[in-house]
Amino acid sequence: MFLVAIARPRWVSEQNTVWDGKIGTWPFVVYELAQRKSKSRAAGTLELKTYTVDRDIYRACLVHSVIPEIKRLWPSGKRVHLQQDNARPHVLLDDVAVMTACTDKGWDMALTVQPAYSPDCNVLDLGFFASLQTLQHRKNSRTIEE
């Protein structure tokens, strides 16, 4: 599983360019030693494993990774809405740690949930995943890291 932060592309007049809206991607993975051997690796080899994300892990990722990256990329003084869908691990709208990080140093960020049938977050379309699979099969990968 991973967390992706994006924004709408916009024109940046100070740099005379178009900002693509990509903020970052944060994977929820850990390296562990393989307990058994297989045909592709020996026992004791480091392998990539996913882990279950709960509300505390999601909160820590928001406070320590996502919000600082938004502050680094976004022009200060502008209102920012952090929109999340209604998944269980997501933090509550009145979470103290997230709201403290959002309003630190004069920033004006608001945490909101996804409205019903929102085109901004509604990518659960089979056509979207089919297009991802066609891109995936263009290049063969040998490891999970690739």
Compute the distance between CA of residue 60 and CA of residue 66 in angstroms, rounded to an integer. 9
Compute the distance between CA of residue 22 and CA of residue 8 in angstroms, rounded to an integer. 9
Give me the phi and psi of 34, to 5 degrees please: -70, 130
How many H-runs (helices) and E-runs (strands) does the chain carry?
4, 8
CA torsion through residues 136, 137, 139, 143, sign: positive
Compute the distance between CA of residue 34 and CA of residue 45 in angstroms, rounded to an integer. 5
pLDDT tens-digit profile of 33-73? 988 888 888 898 888 888 888 999 999 999 999 999 999 98
What pTM value is reported for the model?
0.74
DSSP H helical segments within the chain, as ranges? Answer: 55-61, 67-73, 96-103, 126-136
Asked whether 109 and 67 are in contact (CB, 8 A), the reply is: yes
pLDDT tens-digit profile of 13-27? 888 888 888 899 998
Percent of the chain with pLDDT over 70: 79
